[in-house]
Structure 1
Amino acid sequence: MQTKKPLIAIVDDDESMREAIKGLMRSLGFDAETFSSAEDYLGFPLLRSTTCLVTDIHMPGMSGLDLHRRLVALGTSIPTVLITAFPGEEARTRGLGADIICSLTKPFREQDLVDCILSAVARGSDGQSGKAGI
């Protein structure tokens, strides 16, 4: 019986960032899907199968923080890694809920992202992804 690979969803309006993270995730043995907007991700049929969400904070339309809030409102708790190009932005993400695993400022070290993803996957496999409160 084949075990299912963790699914990492990457939401970023920067195509080169999406593709770089997708390649990294696949090199680690994960399944990865990319989305150019939060709205596209919300329409993803396998949304509730997502093991970890990596999302940019600043995007046209719905922001990564708004996406997080929408998922919480839907009762969907997905371990999440927030990324931003604005230093200091991670301070705004504190207190958003237990499902925010990390907040990274671009450019970030590849290993920092890997560490965040591995923490999220471990949390998901332990069944510890609880409901987050805002």
Structure 2
Amino acid sequence: MCSSSPVIAIVDDDKRVLQALLELLESAGYEALPFDSPNALLDSGVLYRITIVVTDIGMPEINGFELKRILHLSNPEISVILITGRYELIEGLSADDDSLILRKPFDSSALLSAISRSCR
């Protein structure tokens, strides 16, 4: 569940994707914080402010699924939106699991809609 002004963490090891998502979310009026790795987010000291995390799935060391699991251990209420260009990583997921996964490339309105749904 989100506050009226959610703070969104973006986690992606591709700096171009990270910058594009940051610009999109800021232009939509959100406070967005970029992180180039899951460890950067986990070590940042700002997790208490984060209400939504948008994270790539396919990253070295900690993938998006594992990051989601770690985040939910400390805050089960945090919303996590997973993004991926590697479709093989999401094959076989149930419809429930797939509801917060966006396949790259995705339309900006799809992400903004997912964020809006996460805040209900």
- Which residue in 2 is equivalent to 1:8? 8
Provide closer, same or farther for how the CA distance between residues 110 and 103 of structure 1 changes in structure 2, counting only shifts above 3 A. Answer: same
| CA distance, structure 2, for counterparts of residue 92 and residue 49 of structure 1 | 33
Residue 16 of structure 2 aligns to a residue whose secondary structure is helix
| CA distance, structure 2, for counterparts of residue 59 and residue 88 of structure 1 | 14
- Which residue in 2 is equivalent to 1:66? 66
Provide closer, same or farther for how the CA distance between residues 75 and 118 of structure 1 changes in structure 2, counting only shifts above 3 A. Answer: closer
Report deviation, 1:84.
Answer: 0.7
From 110, 113, 118, the equivalent of 1:112 is 110
Report deviation, 1:49.
Answer: 1.6
| CA distance, structure 2, for counterparts of residue 4 and residue 67 of structure 1 | 24
Percent identical across equivalent pairs?
33
Alpha-carbon RMSD across the aligned residues, in angstroms, is: 2.2
Provide structure 2 residue ranges, at least 5 long, that are not aligned to the other structure.
none
Provide structure 1 residue ranges, at least 5 long, that are not aligned to the other structure.
124-134
- Which residue in 1 is equivalent to 2:53? 53
CA contact (8 A) 1:25 1:32 kept: yes
- Which residue in 2 is equivalent to 1:24? 24
Q: Would you identify which runs of 4 or more consecutive aligned residues in structure 1 move more than 6 Å?
A: none
Report deviation, 1:57.
Answer: 0.4
The count of aligned residue pairs is: 117
| CA distance, structure 1, for counterparts of residue 34 and residue 84 of structure 2 | 17
Alpha-carbon deviations, 1:17-43, whole Å to 9, x = none?
A: 111111111111110000011111011
Relative contact order, higher structure (CA 8 A, sep 6+): 2
- Which residue in 2 is equivalent to 1:131? none
> How high is the TM-score relative to the length of structure 1?
0.77
